[in-house]
Structure 1
Amino acid sequence: MKTSPIVPARVDFTDAAAPQAPEFGDVYHARAGAFAQARHVFLGGNALPARWQGRERFVVLETGFGLGNNFLATWQAWREDARRCERLVFISIEKHPLRREDLRRAHAASSAPELAAQLLRQWPALTPNLHLLDFEAGRVRLLLALGDARDWLPELQARVDAFYLDGFAPALNPEIWDAAPLKQLGRLAAPGATAATWSVARGVRDALAGAGFEVEKAPGFAAKGQMSVARYRPPHKPAGPAGREPLAGDGERSALIVGAGIAGAACARALARQGWQSTVLEALPGVGQAGSGNPGGLFHGSFHPQDGLHARFSRAAALATERELRQLDEPLPWLQWGLLRLEREPEPLERMRAQLLASGLPPEYLQVLSPEEARAHAGLRVDAPAWYYPGGGALRPAALAQAWLRQAGATLLTERPVQSLKPEGGRWQLLDADGRPLAEAATVILAAGQRNAALAAPWMAGGELPWVAQRGQLSLLAADAAAWLPRPACPMAGQGYALAGPSGELFFGATAQPHDLDAAAREADHRENLQRLLRLLALQPAPDAAAMEAALLPTLGARVGWRSLVPDRLPLVGGLAAAVPRLRAEQPRFWPRHPGLLLCGGLASRGVTWALLAGELAAAQLSGAPLPLEASLVDALDPCRFAARATRHASAS
């Protein structure tokens, strides 16, 4: 999916009863009232709330978020319905979203002021992503896709129960009313899905009919005499792609998770939001003691002018992580906000500013700082321009993992090393080194870091995954050591990383040595880390650099650990392949999967940033909820991508 800069909406509030969009020459809602219109056209036209009653999950897709009144009216109706569905998922697409200040103005006199205030608090940075916003402890979820509906509709992965076809008039905004985007509704429609719109334009009704809907006219709202309602009744049942059906082993809403690091904890948190229970088995005595055991971990997005897969996924993950951290029920100890990134070979300041301007990314996500501005954030000398992520920062990974496990209400079983898996009667048994069962369930998520390679290998058709165990040595300087060495006021990264601990300690590093299993701390690695640190703190080159290094080396502590990653440096999230498909093997989504067996790993050095969204994706794949990422990114994270890639290369040769 190719992204484009988001152009915010311009709203004319001259007539408070009917705000206008000058670019489209149309109003956002009828003068008779936004909530009244939403209740009549969209809720009433889709027979809500009656149709969601008694359901585990109900999914709505809207083609124009606008001011957000349809979402708020639907949420309000859900709240007021004693027989409401357990979970309401509202997917909405918006090409020109409102700036936060305009959204606040639009809802100054909202019919649901409490709900509008919650929406405003979570309103995302205006980036071309699928933004995940949770309300009601996750029971109401808004998936807000910012960008062109023609790009987003083919990328969404959901089974939609009700469509709200909104947007400015077809004559003024034909892009979302044409046959091509509306045809996607048939691909997304669940059995018995309905659709409603205030439009009765012939082209709209014909496009819906072409997508498999039976369309009728119904009494309209206010001055509009008629509206359209439709029900999905295709002449032939469409075939859904393999790999997109729920992967849960059976109807149980419970799972075993192997690994109590940040990946396993994120999976438990996400499953709890889908109404699932988790039992987490950890080989070590406590939470976050292996790959998640560093005293500090960074979180931040990334930027590339071409906005490829890595940049898009890291941005989506960073924004989701920031939103979660800002609303945690319990404050985390030593949570730092704001991160400076200095490139090894910095570009000129004006070039960096031009790249950021061309991307359209907002300052809430990313800024370019002059050396003087960077110095003010870091509290020390900075000689080059820097990227600044206001929503980035640092925290203790183990503390976050513990908070997520508590939030999930997960059962934690420590000192339970899982050696292998065994299928038994439609369930998975987790076995110890002597082949004795530790636990069994229909659904298992492998989130065990380095152990994932051995546990997944017997169950991955198409060849073993190309795991890399990358050794890293972190250097630690105590608070009372080398007081003359400056401590950064915010986390710094780029040429290695450095962050000050809660009591004035300094953590810095780290080395990256693939296929190195040496657990002993090495002086050579401390020297490498010190060289990076002195460059990062603008203390090198200096005439006394050698003397500084000699003074610091004897004072350093170390932590050695291993990052789990794969060569393309994206995580592995999804079901393990049960067989090689006869057809379309070049596309990972068509590979058949083992029921109830998922992988969530390969988080490399970005675990704090990536874990939350990776866990959400795994939970959605298991439960059948709408996926929180676009299809192209889901494919990019799929464990079958390497086998699919090999198939493509073999076909081309």
Structure 2
Amino acid sequence: MPLLPAPLTFRNGVPYSETYADVYHSQAGAVAQCRAVFLTGNGLPERWRGRESFQILETGFGLGLNFLTTWHECRRLGSTAPRLHFISLEHAPLSSADLTLALSGYPELAQESRHLLSAWPPLTQGIHRLHFDAGRVTLYLVLGDMADLLPQLTLAADAVYLDGFSPRTNPIPWSEPVLRQVARLCRHGATLATWCVAGHLRRTLEHHGFHTTRAPGFGTKRERLSACYDRIPEDAWCKIVQRLEQPALQFTLEPPPQRHALVIGAGLAGCLVSAALGERGWHIELCESRNEPAQEASGNPAGILRPFPSLDDNRAARLARAGFLTTLHWLANLKGKTEVLPHGLNGVLRIAQDAPEAAHLFALSRAPGSVEALLHWLPRAEAERLGHCAAPWGALFYPTAGWLDPGQFCRAALAQTPHLSTHWGQPVTLQPGPAGWEARTLCGALLAQAPIAILAGGAHPLPLSNAPLWPRQRLRGQITQIERSPVPMGTPVLCGSGYVIPDAPGGPCLGATYDRSADIAPRSADRAENLQRLTALGWDDGPEHSVVQERVAFRSVSRDRLPIIGPVPGAKGLFALTALGSRGLVWAPLGADLLCAWLEGDPLPLEKDLVQAVAPARYR
């Protein structure tokens, strides 16, 4: 089902929901209500002191006022505040325009509101991570049906804000299945607070392991409810978690005591996971067989960055959408830290080749998960005007997509990575050792060791004597660069049977071929195939298009075309970030963030079914 924004109305000056016939907060004031009910009810901010990280789960985002108030209180603590992870679910979020109007009435939260509004995501289902205060505060905005999405989350909440409209008109947030999942997502000793004191709520919370306590209420409420998740003894609770949960939660509860990792491979995957972990204080040993980063497929002069929708919004489409938005965040984060990061987000036009494909692309623009901010259909005249090309059947336009220089992306990420030790020109083998994992040279000399190792070697064979039998293919691709662009600067990337990146560094980039050959030298037939893409767009492929560079690289592609990301079964401390295929710019930042969250004990940025879809364990 598509995600429908909630209409915003007001009653007596207070935001009001016509759908649930209830106000968004007490007439006595939203900020005061949050402080009295949720902060005080969870013992905050006192419980933050001395904590490095703190996770809060909220069952109704609404206007975001509980998040904004909590963030405001966190800011008041300054450097003594923990890293805050705020996970909030919302079935009917407000549009950006309505949220701007609603938040204008809370001047005490103006600074936080401005940052939230500037980061407000396209309203698509799933987990949207919004980062603030240089990553010290992260909002996990979980959009969609609460009953469906709560079982998909992986986190260990230290506190719960049980919020929502009245149980009479909106019973789902107060239902037994939801409260059971809330308990599942709590760390032992977690607290819970809510303004609701209904008898069925207290009994259900008690049944699922909470001790409940009534306290003086706020506004017109005589009482509020506080609870602690400690009825089950901690040792028994740990055994239950170990028996019932996926391995993901084990790392969430007990991250590695040493922040030290070996990363094998310095393409997009290896460089970005090094940067993600390095930013969190990890010491990284980066091993690469070539003499500098991004020398394989990540060394192409430009690559395309766009989502890959499907008619049914399947797992691959959801992963690609999450990856696309994650890469945009990485670019925004690096923008103020580096002067050299060539990219152009002028859009991508996927041009229909015939009437059936036009019908398919038009249907994609109306499919679940497709919103106009991410993609929309353009008829022939608009497509041809925007792309300066022939598009007789129209095109699908991705307005915030574009191209990126992957090699410079790698270098910019490594330049911002503290605690980095690089080992260039060193092919290695990986084996278990007393310290966890050892990287040894081909002569057997110990090069580096760490408790955690990450396989990020792209199309290279896995450097293990007993390597897992993942069904990967090594596929060849050849790109061609020409001297002169046939279209003006700033023209969107054009895709059809292949692609043309008009603004690529060094000249327009045409590509890419796809075959199983092992030939490392450029081939004239592949050049002709790439130049033919100009003819398909209505441009002459004559001799004036002189070729200035051709490049061959190899991609690692899994059998199901999804990346391989996560812990390697049966090998403690070994993780993988590989098989990115031709979508490294989409998969690599997302994979880096996923592994970093896994190893840091943060909430995972993907739903469980997506984590399982990319996990190495799917090939057991």
Tell me whether the two structures share a fold, i.e. TM-score over 0.5: yes
Cα displacement (A) at 1:134: 1.0
Which residue does 1:35 correspond to in 2? 31
Q: Equivalences for 1:330-479 in 2 at 5 Å?
A: 330=338, 332-347=341-356, 352-353=361-362, 355-359=364-368, 361-409=370-418, 411-451=420-460, 453-456=461-464, 458-460=466-468, 464-479=469-484
Contact 1:496 1:533 in 2 (8 A): no
| Bigger mean CA deviation after superposition, 232-241 or 18-27 | 232-241
Deviations 1:409-435 (A, max 9, x none): 252525242321122213211111111
Asked if structure 1 preserves the Cα contact closer than 8 Å seen for 2:347 and 2:402, the reply is yes
Q: String of CA shifts for 1:30-88, please: whole Å, max 9, x gaps.
A: 12211111111111111111222212211111011110111111111111125744311
Q: Which residue of 2 aligns with 1:605?
A: 582
Contact 2:327-2:589 within 8 A present in 1 as well = yes
Q: Does 1:243 align with 2:235?
A: no
User: Are the counterparts in 2 of residues 54 and 83 from structure 1 also a CA contact under 8 Å?
Assistant: no
Query: Could you say which residue in structure 1 is the equivalent of 2:549?
Result: 557
Distance across 2 between alignment mates of 1:372 and 1:69: 45
2:598 aligns with one of 613, 616, 621: 621
- CA spacing shift, 1:358–1:618, aligned 2, 3 Å: closer
**Secondary structure, in 3 states, of the residue corresponding to 2:327?**
helix
Q: Paired residue for 2:538?
A: 538
The alpha carbon displacement at 1:140 in A equals: 0.9
Alpha-carbon shift at residue 467 of structure 1 (Å): 1.5
Paired residues, what number?
607
Contact 1:430 1:440 in 2 (8 A): yes
Amino acid at match of 1:246: F
Query: Aligned partners of 1:77 and 1:158: how far apart in 2?
Result: 22
Question: Offset of 1:232 from its aligned partner?
Answer: 0.6
Tell me the CA shift for residue 552 of structure 1.
6.5
CA distance in 1, matches of 2:441, 2:580: 25
Judging changes above 3 Å, is the alpha-carbon distance between structure 1 residues 596 and 44 closer, same or farther for their aligned structure 2 residues?
same
CA distance in 2, matches of 1:503, 1:158: 42
| Residue among 268, 271, 284 paired with 2:277 | 271
Shift of 1:251: 0.8
- Corresponding residue for residue 522 of structure 1: 523
2:265 maps to which of 253, 259, 265 = 259
Q: Does 1:139 align with 2:173?
A: no
Whether contact under 8 Å (2:352, 2:358) holds in the other structure is no
Q: Deviations over 1:332-378 (max 9, x none)?
A: 22433311112444547677545533526321111111111112221
Matched, 1:72 2:68: yes
Give the residue type in structure 1 aligned to 2:394: P
Whether 1:575 aligns to 2:567 is: yes
- Offset of residue 310 of structure 1: 0.6
Contact map agreement 2:302 2:504 (CA 8 A) in 1 = no
CA shift in 2, pair 1:417/1:360, >3 Å: closer
Q: Return the match for 2:496 from 494, 497, 500.
A: 494
Does structure 2 retain, via aligned residues, the 8 Å contact 1:63–1:92? Answer: yes
Cα deviation for residue 441 of structure 1 reads 1.1
- Name the structure 2 match of 1:325: 331
- Cα–Cα, structure 1 residues 503 and 291, in superposed 2: closer, same or farther, change >3 Å? closer
Corresponding residue for residue 94 of structure 2 = 98
Q: What are the Cα deviations for residues 450-498 of structure 1, in whole angstroms up to 9, with x where unaligned?
A: 23x32256253xxx1111111001111123xxx7688881111231010
Find the aligned partners of 1:428 and 1:350 in 2 and give their Cα distance: 52
Alignment of 1:51-70 (within 5 A): 51-70=47-66
Whether 2:210 is the aligned partner of 1:179: answer: no
Partner Cα separation in structure 2 for residue 343 and residue 433 of structure 1: 50
* Partner deviation per Cα, 1:181-222 (whole Å, 9 max, x = no partner): 110122111010111111111222222122211112111111
Amino acid across the alignment from 1:492: L
Structure 1 residue identity aligned to 2:44: L
Contact 1:249–1:596 at 8 Å: present in 2 too? no
Distance 1:434 1:350, change over 3 A: closer
SS at match of 1:640: helix
Q: 1:385 to 1:553 in 2, by over 3 A?
A: closer
**Within 2, Cα distance between the matches of 1:426 and 1:289?**
30
State whether residues 249 and 426 of structure 1, in contact with CA within 8 Å, keep that contact through their aligned partners in structure 2: no
SS of aligned partner of 1:489: coil
8 Å CA contact 1:340–1:493 kept in 2: the answer is yes
- For 2:28 and 2:344, the matched residues in 1 are separated by 47
- Call closer, same or farther: CA 1:313–1:172 in 2, change over 3 Å: same
Question: Given the superposition, is the C-alpha separation of residues 361 and 65 from structure 1 closer, same or farther in structure 2, using an over 3 Å criterion?
Answer: same
**Alpha-carbon distance, 1:390 to partner:** 1.4
Indicate the residue corresponding to 1:542 in structure 2: none
Give the Cα–Cα distance (whole angstroms) in 2 for the partners of residues 101 and 317 of structure 1: 25
Whether the aligned pair in 2 keeps the contact of 1:246 and 1:621 (CA below 8 Å) is yes
Q: Which amino acid aligns with 2:494?
A: M
CA–CA distance in structure 2, aligned partners of residues 11 and 508 of structure 1: 47
- Secondary structure in structure 1 of the residue aligned to 2:251: coil
Contact 2:9 2:15 in 1 (8 A): yes
Structure 2 vs 1, CA of residues 605 and 67 (structure 1 numbering), >3 Å: closer, same or farther? same
Stretch of structure 1 that moved more, 336-345 or 283-292: 336-345
Cα 1:263–1:183 change in 2 (3 A) is: same
Q: String of CA shifts for 1:155-192, please: whole Å, max 9, x gaps.
A: 00111111111110111101121101110122111010
Tell me: CA distance 1:277–1:419, structure 2 relative to 1, closer, same or farther (3 Å).
Answer: closer
Write out per-residue CA displacement over residues 495-523 of structure 1, whole angstroms, 9 at most, x where no aligned residue.
10101135772110111112x22111101
Equivalence for 1:640: 617
Alignment partners' CA distance in 1, 2:93 and 2:265 = 40
Give me the whole-angstrom Cα distance separating, in 2, the residues matched to 1:350 and 1:470. Answer: 30
Q: Structure 1 CA distance, aligned partners of 2:466 and 2:94?
A: 50
State how far apart, in whole Å, the 2-side matches of 1:500 and 1:7 are: 37
Change (3 A) 1:273 1:529: same
Secondary structure class of the residue paired with 1:469: strand
Amino acid at match of 2:247: G
Cα 1:179–1:317 change in 2 (3 A) is same
Q: Equivalent residue of 1:374, what SS?
A: helix
Q: Cα 1:276–1:37, aligned 2, differ >3 Å: closer, same or farther?
A: farther
Structure 1: runs of 5 or more not aligned: 540-544, 579-593, 644-653
**CA RMSD of superposed structures (Å):** 2.2
TM-score in terms of structure 1 length: 0.88
| CA distance, structure 2, for counterparts of residue 410 and residue 530 of structure 1 | 45
Quick one: distance in 2 between partners of 1:504 and 1:148? 47
Aligned to 1:153, the other structure's residue is in SS state: helix
CA distance in 2, matches of 1:172, 1:569: 44
**Residue in 2 aligned with 1:118?**
115
1:277 Cα deviation (Å)? 3.3
Amino acid in structure 2 at the alignment position of 1:309: R
Aligned residue in 2 for 1:511:
513
SS state at 1:532 partner: helix
1:647 maps to what in 2? none
How high is the TM-score relative to the length of structure 2? 0.93
